[in-house]
Each structure stands twice: as structure tokens, then as C-alpha cells.
Amino acid sequence: MTLSPAAVAFRALHTAIAGVELAALGYVWFCVLTRRRDRRLGIAIAALGVEGIGLVIGKGNCPLGPVQDRIGDPVPLFELVLPKRAAKAAVPALTGVAALGVLLALARRPRQPESPAARPTRA
């Protein structure tokens, strides 16, 4: 199947958005594991929140799907890389992983910076 230039451009944009969201999810979990809290964590949580709002608007589906259909790209983004059944399960699974990560990132006490006195000295 040949896609129109608009569909190719939209698919690229959609892929970039998905990449940002997956990077945000990865950073949230990095912060959970390292007990780090910084401005980037806030940005990652905000990005996931925007995605969550989009999923609510789309009633559990990506709100960009109907736009993708209208411009002539009938294949959902996750179905480009996953079997149909796994692609259908990806959004709910990633939503759960994101929600758990955000909750843990916010609930865990941040690691305290090491005081200079506690560092070993070099001889």
C-alpha cells in the first residue's frame, strides 16, 4: 500500500510523539529506580499526563487514530511494530505501567545528596 505524502508526514509525527511518550515513561521508571527527582521528572510526568488526557478524549484509543484514518493511513501505529492483538493490549498495558511509575516516583522519598563529610578522601 502506498501512502500519500500527508499520511507519511503524519505517520512520522505520530511516531515522534510516541517516541517522546516512551522516553518520558522510561525516564519516570529511571527516577523510580534511582530515587531521583528533578525538573525532567516533572516534564516527563506532564507529558504522560497530556497523553492520558488524549486517551480519555479518545475513549481509551489514541485520539490521533481518526485523523490518521482520514488522511489515508488505515494501519494503527502500534500495528506497524506489533501483532494486532498485542497492539490492542499495548495502550492499556502502557497506561498501567505509566500510572504505577508516576505513583511510585511521587511516593518514594528522594535520595538525599551525599554530604561532603561522608565522601571518602583520597590519600
For residue range 54-83, what is the model confidence (pLDDT) as tens digits?
999 988 888 898 899 999 999 989 999 999
Model pLDDT, residue 62: 86
Domain count, the chain: 1
- Specify if 82 maps to a domain: yes
- Domain range for 30: 5-110
- Specify if 27 maps to a domain: yes
Q: Which grid coordinates belong to 48?
A: 504522560
Model pLDDT, residue 120: 66
- Specify if 96 maps to a domain: yes
Residue keyed to cell 495502550: 91
Q: At 24, is the secondary structure helix, strand, or coil?
A: helix
- Specify if 62 maps to a domain: yes
Task: Tell me the per-residue pLDDT of 38-54, one tens digit each, with 9 for 90 and over.
Answer: 999 999 999 999 999 99
Q: Ramachandran region of residue 113, left (φ > 0), alpha (ψ -120 to 50) or beta?
A: beta
- Specify if 116 maps to a domain: no
Give the helix, strand, coil percentages of the chain, each rounded to 5: 70, 0, 30
**Rg of the chain over CA atoms, in angstroms?**
19
What's the predicted TM-score (pTM) here? Answer: 0.82
Model pLDDT, residue 58: 87
Q: Are 45 and 102 in contact (CB under 8 A)?
A: yes
Determine how many CB atoms are found less than 10 A away from the CB of residue 74: 11
- Specify if 68 maps to a domain: yes
- Specify if 70 maps to a domain: yes
